[in-house]
Amino acid sequence: MSNPTLSVSKFAGLAPLLGGLARSAVLAQLGKLRHGHLRLLSHGQQWSFGDADSPLQAEVEILDDATWSLIAGNGSIGAGEAYIHGYWRSPDL
């Protein structure tokens, strides 16, 4: 009888694709922001969400792309986990 095995190398190419999908999903949700303003920075890219004239302003810098998957999969709890791991930071906390 043979034992089925899973080769991680077969799926290594999927990581960037899945990370990109997670990022797209998170950015799409942030695009619905109506109250306040969020400036998001990641590896030289910058996004702006919400009302730029709002008195409620925040900035978040993504330091590790694992953040996207954590937030896409677990919402605010995933964002908290990513923060604990040091995957993002904000001067506005």
Using CA atoms, how far apart are residues 43 and 57, in angstroms rounded to an integer?
A: 21
Q: Judge whether residue 38 has pLDDT over 60.
A: yes
Residue 54 maps to a domain: yes
The mean predicted confidence, pLDDT, of the chain is 87
> Which residue reads 């949700």 in tokens?
29
What is the per-residue pLDDT for 48? 98
User: Which position has the higher pLDDT, 1 or 64?
Assistant: 64
Distances 51 to 16, 30, 60 between C-alpha atoms, Å: 31, 12, 16
Residue 39 maps to a domain: yes
Residue 72 maps to a domain: yes
Domain of 58? 34-93
Work out how many domains the chain is built from and give that number.
Answer: 1
Using CA atoms, how far apart are residues 80 and 58, in angstroms rounded to an integer?
A: 16
